[in-house]
Amino acid sequence: MGWLIAAMASFLGTHYLLSHPLRAPLVKAIGNKAFPAAYSLVALSTFAWTIVAFGRAPRDPLLWDGMASMPWIISSVLTLIALALFMASLAGNPALPGAKVHGLSAQMPRGVFKITRHPMMMGFALWAASHILVSPSPRVLVLMGGLILLALYGSHLQDRKKKALYGTEWRSWMKRTSFWPNLAHASALGVWLGAAVLPWLAITWLHVPLAQVPAGLWGLLPAHIL
């Protein structure tokens, strides 16, 4: 567990340092073209270390029975919502790299952005939380808890950086949108939930050969069929 904690800390720490305080000096030192490659190399290396450490960490003890009906059902619903949020975030998201921000202050949020201005990151957080529900071991808490922290705190830091870069444009967007999901506008996700069903079925089916554990509706089938 010590190696897993160290690996996750290195992944989160380097992500923060390279995204914020060290970004400008490194871009100045190695250039705009080389920086993304360096950033990706560090991120992939530290994440690979995290995955290896996760695989070697103890699988027990479990804090509760994650395979019971209620955690399983809640987890399955969360993964479907997470996928819908991710898919919706790919269309017209001003937070994505290279997205158009000019004129954002004059726009009213539409679709999923009525729910949250960070649908992708909220989707990642829900996806990670769903895994904690069904596999509540210390190693899963470290891995998925770290990813939840990265998604949520990363979203906060993104807002701060966007405010510094775009000023009024992003401040106005923040006033018109919610950081945390606004359930009063949950119906705005309806179309995307429908669109996410087939990909969700495919992804949860792949969970069996890739992770050796059934997920979603496939967990209801007898083991010999899978």
pLDDT, mean of each 10-residue run, the chain (226 residues): 94 90 86 88 95 92 86 92 96 86 87 95 96 93 96 94 90 94 93 94 87 78 57
What pLDDT is attached to residue 222?
Answer: 60
| pTM for the structure as a whole | 0.89
What pLDDT is attached to residue 226?
Answer: 53
What pLDDT is attached to residue 67?
Answer: 79
What pLDDT is attached to residue 223?
Answer: 55
Q: What is the 3-state secondary structure (H, E, C) of the chain?
A: CHHHHHHHHHHHHHHHHHHCCCHHHHHHHHCCCHHHHHHHHHHHHHHHHHHHHHHHCCCCCCCCCCCCHHHHHHHHHHHHHHHHHHHHHCCCCCCCCCCCCCCHHHCCCCHHHHCCCCHHHHHHHHHHHHHHHHCCCHHHHHHHHHHHHHHHHHHHHHHHHHHHHHCHHHHHHHHHCCCCCCHHHHHHHHHHHHHHHHHHHHHHHHHHHHHCCCCHHHHHCCCCCC
What pLDDT is attached to residue 28?
Answer: 82
Can you tell me which residue has the tokens 């992770």?
Answer: 211
What pLDDT is attached to residue 88?
Answer: 95
What pLDDT is attached to residue 54?
Answer: 94
Q: Which residues, other chains included, contact 72 with Cβ-Cβ below 8 Å and sequence gap of 6+?
A: 66, 134, 219
Cβ atoms of 180 and 106 closer than 8 Å: no
What pLDDT is attached to residue 221?
Answer: 66
Cβ atoms of 155 and 121 closer than 8 Å: yes
Q: Pick the closest to residue 149 from 141, 159, 160 (CA basis).
A: 141
Can you tell me which residue has the tokens 């027990």?
Answer: 60
Phi/psi zone of residue 216: left (φ > 0), alpha (ψ -120 to 50 degrees), beta?
Answer: left
Domain ranges of the chain: 1-57, 62-220
